[in-house]
Structure 1
């Protein structure tokens, strides 16, 4: 047994300290993608915020660098960690702490899986309005750490808009919190927005509070298929109209084909409201499609849920060793043009959520030069391309994040303030943070 494991067993129950050799194969594979050259001694599973604080205090005292995670479903995203000795999992911090259904808020520990939370909320006709990758495995803390919202951002905003309170363990082991349990709480610094999308580099979340929403009584999805120019006009008209779609997602021809719905570019538009509103809005969109020469297909009931699930599975399916998944962002009014350019370069899958301009490209394989060309396309459209999952050699050859902005110095100062010893997720974030 390693010295690290021995010290941690003096803090935690021995069953909460798992040597590297005894970890589940799937988790070991994910950790190896995040920190392929690290000599990880063990993983720890504290079952309370206080236990987690003791673990981090011990790591701070001994200078151990840590790889925080929840369920580990997105550990293969982001940069490659170096010199990590310890994996710290919040998987056992998985309690639902408070569901204030009348106030439309919920508080839970960060290791609770999103799917389990949704099951509980659905019994009272409510839900957390996020649609992240790996929804059945993703933990709440992981959703916040990666700012992974999905298609529902069109109607409900991003994770930052729904997160109203957090508790976390600082890099020195001290417990801290920000925000509160009510929507209009404005006390203190807005650390919720700072921690959202920080990839666990500023602290380890222990508790999160979200605003939640009522389940819509009726739902229907319209699929428009046709030429890129017509879809661009349809998207612009839809965004400028009084219609209130829940999701607007542009699909490359390869994505439409993978869903067995055709061979042209597509536009998925979901309406959710009372039945009469859904029917009226769907009809207005159908009329718009007819004027632009687009094919319109109405999808509802079980077929609708199946369609969105199949789309998610196509994007989230386990990558092969050569596969590359990239997060992209462009100015929303250039989304269709961007995907049109991309599909001329590659037959990979691609989606962009029209309201935010954020999306995903999935390539079966690609060279560094191709990825750089795709990044150039996105940057020329006012956006970015970040590599989420890719072979190790490609991640080592390229800047994973490709951040073109001017805030790196500010981010580095924040990292130095929150984690001066660089113990949390080292080198995994923008600029090697």
Structure 2
């Protein structure tokens, strides 16, 4: 392991190439939850068992400080055919499939500088390792913000958010990570630096690699810089919460979808999440309105009236109470006292969202897209998961496992992909990473 680390010290320095035995125990645990030795699998099906559950740890963790150092590190790995697990702070390392036989972890956490903030053009360019929370603080000083809302806002890095397509209910108004991304700089699997897009909103030159890299889980290249569009901060904000009977909640969501109301966030919440937040009983609908004061007040009252007509309990949150509500909501979704809990990303027809939530332990689903997160905590969680996966697929959707114990990911098909594009994805992987050294096994079909 020390010999492996020594290969990178001439590039990044001794203090930035850390041998495995010198890595903090908590960080070791996080990495081991993301990797697995490459073992034969049983025939493809609901349960796929491996021969051995004990992974071999990587030799070292490398922390480049510049894009050029990152390129040299990847070049060295490519020359030796070492398998690389790219990451930022590691907050989402255990998302997706298990990575096979990792030799070295490359972290962009120390690539964390602001490159350019064009305040008048509403764009910002930062290095991939910058924390999301730090970027938002800097933008707030100019009265602007980045319109994505990852679950782990304090620890998530910008590169990790792009690589995992991690966004939440702000998609109601602003779209997904893909829609915010204007440009990208990345290091190819052979160590060459490449760029796509630019630093202006109206940019149509070249291939749209930004969308390809968003949600690629580090399998196509290592992101080093990104450019986002940003937005002016709102004058005022209020959130309406409706709780009660599932059928009435479904009706209220349908009314909201078909109305002229323009929430920036709108989600359905499971019963356990509603009770955990102290919002009441039954399922919940939360809708946030942000604009000028008159508009926010009018829209909030209209949705409250819809809830009253359907017999739902309604409450309006504003100022500090509203901020606390959304913060605690993210914490409830992200945290679990049960180490065996399984967290999944799902997509269903929006009209089927309530049916799914009534069968889940903890979950929220965006009312317009039908995308959301579920967490399973019961003793029969695997059976419950497979049942809801079947329900999602029946409703033209999907269920993908994000976080789960290693032994669960070794048994189940993590991605549950049933489409016909797997061969195309394999060809793309071959074009970008012929030696298959970047996050091997983490993506759909073990790509």
Task: Give the match for residue 336 of structure 1.
Answer: 354
Task: Give the match for residue 18 of structure 1.
Answer: 18
Give me the whole-angstrom Cα distance separating, in 2, the residues matched to 1:166 and 1:75.
21
Shift of 1:367: 4.0
Shift of 1:39: 3.1
The 10-residue stretch of structure 1 (204-213 or 290-299) with the greater mean CA deviation from structure 2: 290-299
Structure 1 consecutive aligned stretches of length 4 or more whose deviation exceeds 4 Å:
none
Kept in 1, the 8 Å contact 2:32–2:57? The answer is no
SS in 2 for 1:39: coil
Give me the whole-angstrom Cα distance separating, in 2, the residues matched to 1:84 and 1:197.
20
Count residues in correspondence. 428
Give me the whole-angstrom Cα distance separating, in 2, the residues matched to 1:376 and 1:319.
27
Task: Give the match for residue 418 of structure 2.
Answer: 404
SS in 1 for 2:224: strand
Which blocks of at least 5 consecutive residues in structure 1 are unaligned?
Answer: none
The 10-residue stretch of structure 1 (363-372 or 81-90) with the greater mean CA deviation from structure 2: 363-372
Aligned-CA RMSD value: 1.1
Find the partner of 2:369 among 350, 356, 362. Answer: 356
Deviation by residue 1:17-53 (Cα, 9 ceiling, x = unmatched): 0111111233211101001413311000000000000
Task: Give the match for residue 3 of structure 2.
Answer: 3
TM value normalised by structure 2? 0.94
Shift of 1:319: 6.0
Note the 1:95-114 alignment, pairs <5 A.
Answer: 95-114=113-132
Shift of 1:361: 0.8
Shift of 1:338: 2.2
Give me the whole-angstrom Cα distance separating, in 2, the residues matched to 1:213 and 1:100.
12
Task: Give the match for residue 265 of structure 1.
Answer: 283
Find the partner of 1:421 among 435, 438, 442. Answer: 435
TM value normalised by structure 1? 0.97
The 10-residue stretch of structure 1 (392-401 or 163-172) with the greater mean CA deviation from structure 2: 392-401
Task: Give the match for residue 380 of structure 1.
Answer: 394
SS in 1 for 2:266: strand
Shift of 1:393: 1.5
SS in 1 for 2:254: helix
SS in 2 for 1:307: helix
Find the partner of 2:324 among 296, 306, 310. Answer: 306
SS in 1 for 2:289: strand
Give me the whole-angstrom Cα distance separating, in 2, the residues matched to 1:337 and 1:84.
40
Note the 1:201-350 alignment, pairs <5 A.
Answer: 201-317=219-335, 320-340=338-358, 342-343=359-360, 348-350=361-363
Kept in 2, the 8 Å contact 1:38–1:81? The answer is no
Shift of 1:138: 0.2
Find the partner of 1:124 among 136, 142, 167. Answer: 142
